[in-house]
Structure 1
Amino acid sequence: MKTLSTKKLAETVKMLRETKGFTKEELGTITGINRIMIGRIEREDFIPSIIQFEALAKTLGFDITDMFVEKEKTNSFIALRSEALSDNEKEGVDKLFKMMLSMRQQIILRRKFENETEYNA
């Protein structure tokens, strides 16, 4: 699945703006986008609306579809597939699971204690 690359957009807008000799304010006037927002786009801190995106593409001369990249697959569940982990990562995952189990035991003990305190009161 393709997704918008804010990095690619930021680099493209800044490079083309400077190549064409526009200040942020000049580009903002032409596109109708506030100069502050142009700066935020260039810092990857703002995603323009579709209308703003089209205005930037038209003014600077880039193809909108070039700003989309194939979404990287994440390894959200890599911890469950131990063959994909290094020895150091496996050790970290083991520590994490031990901490989680310890916290669970503490919660269970705390609840028991709280229940006993209620009955003795």
Structure 2
Amino acid sequence: MSDDKINLLSGLFTKDQRPEILSVDVAELKALITLHVPEDLSWFDGHFPEQKVLPGVVQIDWAGKFSKALLLNSERFSQLTNVKFKSMVMPNTQMSLELTYLPEKHLIKFHFFSEHDSFSSGSFKFLTP
């Protein structure tokens, strides 16, 4: 895997708001990104003081930005569908994000998961040109 894709994706966020990107594999209509969620992300501040949890909206933001950078280029999202949050993402979690582009349906499916957990999933519908 080239460091170019890791640098491209890392550049989408400020240091205190981005996951550590460990690997990126892109094939035709799919991408698999391996991430580490550092404990010092600003997203954890105030999101449950007794137990820090990565907010679901952050997972959606990451999936959307990675989708546009790797699979869609200039397409505009129109809605989220079938979003499910299944397990909480704690600090220092290593997880993967799978993105699947379905051009005939004008959507991208996303799924955050680890070997033992499914964290969240859903789809982005986008506007057709």
Q: Same fold (TM over 0.5)?
A: no
TM-score range, shorter chain: under 0.3
Relative to total residues, which structure has the larger helix share, 1 or 2?
1
- Give TM-score scaled by structure 1 length: 0.25
Structure ID, larger Rg: 1
Relative to total residues, which structure has the larger strand share, 1 or 2?
2
